[in-house]
């Protein structure tokens, strides 16, 4: 019998169809999935859905309220708020997805390797993660952006670095349990390489954890990106960004509150959608929470 003949562990990795069915049976999960899909569609097809050019200015129509021509009103330069929110979703989600991808690839890799290799590598990696975790999230992100300079790419990198320790610690724990399992020991005894053990026997069995944490991390990454843009350290004007729109609109709250209200609601809806989806995925994928199948 060879290592290739060993089956992977089968502890509850649901198929995609079954996962979707259980997710849709949960009211909050269904709501989170619908909100997330709609936000993603608005971001991807912003150029088609936007009723007006988000950069087009109409000085005579500035700070206008909701109307038939401008459904969500206009900002201080007469730009259509709805169009800028759609493009703002594209910018904010682009930064959030880039940041979570960086954190997942680097943090997840370090966490799994630390658990599998152990020894001095595990100790060094975890101490570095502890140092990063000691800093408040927003302050560490501000410090990195201050060094690198503002901009979408640097903002994504800064947020990604901030969340590397979260992914590293989260994936290290289940990887430690899987490393001590019998089927991993059997694969090693039959001569399977470390790479094969990790990619065929460990990684497939922590996909559930990855899905849950990725969804929740997207929720918080959107908030951090909005915070950095609000402070002028994220996306630069005139490019639409939800946090930047909120920052610009706060000056005119007494004259016209609608731009601030709608941009703030857009941030809330995006973060809430991914958060609801992550919570529902946790309930569906964790056997201790969903009971016996």
pLDDT tens profile 248-264: 888 888 888 898 999 99
Identify the DSSP state of 8.
P
SS3 content of the chain, % helix, strand, coil (to 5): 75, 0, 25
Q: What is the pLDDT of residues 162-195, one digit of tens each?
A: 999 999 999 988 888 888 778 777 877 877 777 7
Contact of 142 with 233, CB cutoff 8 Å? yes
Rounded CA gap, 54 and 17, in Å? Answer: 39
Average pLDDT, the chain: 84
> Is pLDDT larger for residue 15 or for residue 159?
159
Rounded CA gap, 61 and 187, in Å? Answer: 69
Asked whether residue 7 carries a pLDDT value surpassing 50, the answer given is no
Q: Which two tokens stand for residue 14?
A: 């649901």
Handedness of CA 113, 119, 121, 126 (dihedral sign): positive
Domain membership of residue 53 (yes or no) is: yes
Rounded CA gap, 154 and 98, in Å? Answer: 10
Asked whether residue 127 carries a pLDDT value surpassing 90, the answer given is yes
Asked whether residue 205 carries a pLDDT value surpassing 80, the answer given is yes
Domain membership of residue 19 (yes or no) is: no
pLDDT value of residue 165: 93
Cα angle 267, 97, 35 (rounded to 5 degrees) comes to 45
Domain membership of residue 207 (yes or no) is: yes
Question: How many domains would you assign to the chain?
Answer: 1
Domain membership of residue 181 (yes or no) is: yes
pTM (predicted TM-score): 0.84
As beta bridge partners, residue 80 has 74
Place of tokens 């639409």: 240
Rounded CA gap, 98 and 111, in Å? Answer: 19
Domain membership of residue 29 (yes or no) is: no
Contact of 117 with 125, CB cutoff 8 Å? no
Asked whether residue 149 carries a pLDDT value surpassing 70, the answer given is yes
pLDDT value of residue 262: 92
CATH of the domain at 162: 1.10.3720.10
Domain membership of residue 176 (yes or no) is: yes
Domain membership of residue 28 (yes or no) is: no
Place of tokens 């470390």: 194
Mean pLDDT along residues 47-51: 89
Domain membership of residue 4 (yes or no) is: no
pLDDT value of residue 286: 66
The Cβ-side half-sphere exposure at 273, using a 13 Å CA radius, reads 17
Asked whether residue 3 carries a pLDDT value surpassing 70, the answer given is no
Q: What is the pLDDT of residues 65-93, one digit of tens each?
A: 888 888 898 888 889 999 999 999 999 99
Q: Which of 90, 102, 29 lies closest to 275 in space, CA to CA?
A: 29
Identify the DSSP state of 203.
G
Asked whether residue 98 carries a pLDDT value surpassing 90, the answer given is yes
Q: Give alpha helix (H) positions in 180-257.
A: 182-189, 194-197, 207-230, 242-249
Q: Which two tokens stand for residue 234?
A: 């994220």
Residue 85 domain boundaries:
42-290
Confidence of residue 288 (pLDDT cuts 50, 70, 90): low
CB count, 10 Å around CB of 4? 10
Q: Which two tokens stand for residue 279?
A: 């919570």
């Amino acid at each position: 019998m060879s290592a290739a003949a060993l089956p992977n562990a089968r502890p509850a990795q649901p198929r995609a169809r079954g996962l979707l069915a259980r997710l849709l049976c949960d009211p909050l999960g269904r709501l989170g999935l619908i909100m997330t899909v709609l936000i993603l569609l608005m971001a991807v097809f912003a150029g088609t859905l936007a009723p007006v050019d988000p950069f087009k200015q109409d000085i005579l129509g500035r700070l206008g309220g909701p109307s038939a021509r401008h459904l969500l009103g206009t900002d201080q330069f007469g730009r259509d708020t709805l169009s800028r929110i759609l493009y703002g979703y594209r910018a904010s989600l682009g930064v959030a997805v880039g940041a979570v991808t960086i954190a997942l690839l680097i943090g997840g890799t370090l966490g799994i390797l630390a658990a599998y290799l152990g020894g001095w590598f595990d100790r060094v990696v975890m101490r570095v993660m502890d140092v990063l975790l000691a800093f408040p999230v927003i302050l560490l992100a501000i410090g990195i952006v201050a060094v690198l300079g503002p901009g979408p790419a640097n903002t994504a990198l800064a947020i990604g670095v901030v969340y590397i320790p979260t992914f590293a610690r989260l994936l290290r724990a289940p990887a430690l349990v899987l490393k001590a399992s019998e089927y991993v020991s059997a694969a090693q005894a039959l001569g399977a390489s470390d790479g094969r053990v990790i990619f065929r026997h460990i990684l497939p069995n922590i996909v559930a954890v990855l899905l849950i944490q990725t969804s929740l991390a997207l929720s918080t990454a959107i908030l951090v990106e909005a915070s950095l843009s609000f402070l002028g350290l994220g996306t630069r004007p005139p490019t639409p960004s939800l946090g930047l729109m909120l920052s610009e609109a706060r000056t005119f709250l007494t004259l016209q509150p609608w731009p601030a209200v709608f941009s703030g609601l857009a941030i809330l809806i995006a973060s809430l959608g991914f958060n609801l989806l992550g919570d529902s995925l946790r309930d569906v994928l964790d056997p201790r929470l969903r009971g016996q199948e």
